[in-house]
Structure 1
Amino acid sequence: MWSDVEYSPVGEELGMRDFWLYAWMRRAAVIAAHVTGVSLTLIIAVLSRPGTSLFSWHPLCMALASRKWKVRLHWFCQTLVLVVAATGLGFIVASKNLSESRHLATWHSRLGICTLAASALQAACGVCVVYPKLLCLSTPPPRLKLYHGTCGLVVYLLATLTIMAAMLSDWYQAVVKGPVWWAIFLLPVFPALVVMNQITNGYLPRKKISS
């Protein structure tokens, strides 16, 4: 008897040998997504050279605000994400005020505000998932989890678009050029696809696969 495996349409009706190949490919994709996400964070942290200017702290804070984990650690990390993201927002607002530049003048800034708003909504959904009785909610817990997961997916996709839009900025294009720019520009796409697959499959029915 094989252990329970999360259901996915891609892995349906496979023989056991093919199934294990599929399972290991999924694990490899998840590991690669984490490595890619951490690598992107480190790259942005190095390129921003924090401390060289007020603006330099903004890319670093927003890059750090892209990390997530689970359960109680997930709560801690999500709270930290909101704090760091708000700090990054504060730095860019102060930097623009100092240089007398217009706010919300680019797609990066507009997407960034949408991402922060969606993050706050996701956090609110998370509170509802944990304390439905305390909040006197009539919505079934599974549906609350679905809303929370959907918000998480929207937040991640918005964050990915925000990061990619940031790479179109004058600051980033002055620091990174040529083929390297394209490589780093496409880097956030892979983990976004993996996260999208994980969240969508997480709310599909599960079944046991046995021999």
Structure 2
Amino acid sequence: MRPDVEYSPVGEGLGMREFWLYVWLRRAAVIGAQITGIGLTLVISVLSRPGTSLFSWHPVCMSFAYCLCLTEGILVVSADGSLFCCKSRNTNVRLHWFCQALVLVAAATGLSFMVASKNVSELGHLGSWHSWLGVCTLASTLLQAAFGVCMIFSKLLRLSSSLQRLKLYHATCGLVVYLLATVTVVLAMFSDWFQASVKGAAWWALLLLPLFPALVVMNQITNAYLPRKKITS
């Protein structure tokens, strides 16, 4: 066997019929993750009743940013079965940029509404694990965006890191952002506001729902961008 041949475990040991079943199951999981992200955004937006208060816009903006746009932005460049995936790689990359830009705008808007709401109510900031993890998520989002910009303008900026290494940093940071965002959304469901709106079995269902797209996104990123084992003998 030739040295330095990249090894991928996908489909290893599977017959043709089993391999195609595996492919379609992966596509179904990707579509399910996208539908889940859209559904969570709609449910949270309806529950928050936007316009009734300054705070009501915070969950709307944040769910739009992280449950919808971040999910779509990652899957459109890492998953063949994505609902919005095009045959052109360049088109998918542009869609990724657009979704990531929406994440930044929506997250900044949601943060502004939260700060304004706290100031009007004269309540303290950063008083819960949800708020602290939210700040970490926003910081990681900015770092991920910075790596993305460095990738786009790598030649103009004359960076010492190679493009492949920047892609690895960008993908790894994206994985961290999504995991932090998932935990932040889950913690939001323990808030007094959410528990007053949703009770019983529906609350448990919504609590577990964000975990499904997180598993799918994590699998897609690790398979598409993170280093794979190489056979050297």
The answer to whether the aligner puts 1:175 opposite 2:216 as a matched pair is no
Q: Note the 1:1-150 alignment, pairs <5 A.
A: 9=9, 11-66=11-66, 67=69, 68-69=72-73, 70-150=92-172
Q: Please state how far the C-alpha of 1:40 moved relative to its aligned partner.
A: 0.4
- Cα distance change of structure 1 residues 99 and 134 upon mapping to structure 2, 3 Å threshold: same
Measure, in 2, the Cα distance between the counterparts of 1:32 and 1:72: 23
CA RMSD of aligned residues (A): 1.6
State the Cα distance separating 1:81 from its structure 2 match: 1.1
SS at match of 2:190: coil
Compute the displacement of 1:58 (Å).
Answer: 0.4
Moved runs in structure 1, 4+ residues, more than 3 A?
A: none
* Alignment coverage as a number of residue pairs: 201
| TM-score w.r.t. length of structure 1 | 0.91
Q: C-alpha distance in 2, partners of 1:54/1:130?
A: 36
Q: Given the superposition, is the C-alpha separation of residues 12 and 104 from structure 1 closer, same or farther in structure 2, using an over 3 Å criterion?
A: same
Normalised TM-score (structure 2): 0.83
Query: Structure 1 unaligned runs (5+)?
Result: 1-6, 207-211
CA distance in 1, matches of 2:129, 2:10: 35
Report the CA distance between 1:10 and its aligned residue: 5.0
Provide the C-alpha distance between the structure 1 equivalents of 2:189 and 2:64, rounded to a whole number of angstroms: 16
1:43 positional shift: 0.4
Q: How big is each residue's C-alpha offset from its partner over 1:130-160, in whole Å with a ceiling of 9 and x where there is no partner?
A: 1111111121111110100001111111110
- Asked if residue 151 in structure 1 is aligned to residue 173 in structure 2, the reply is yes
Q: Report Cα offsets for 1:159-204 as digits up to 9, x if no partner.
A: 1011001001000000001110000010000000000000000124
* Secondary structure, aligned partner of 1:137: coil
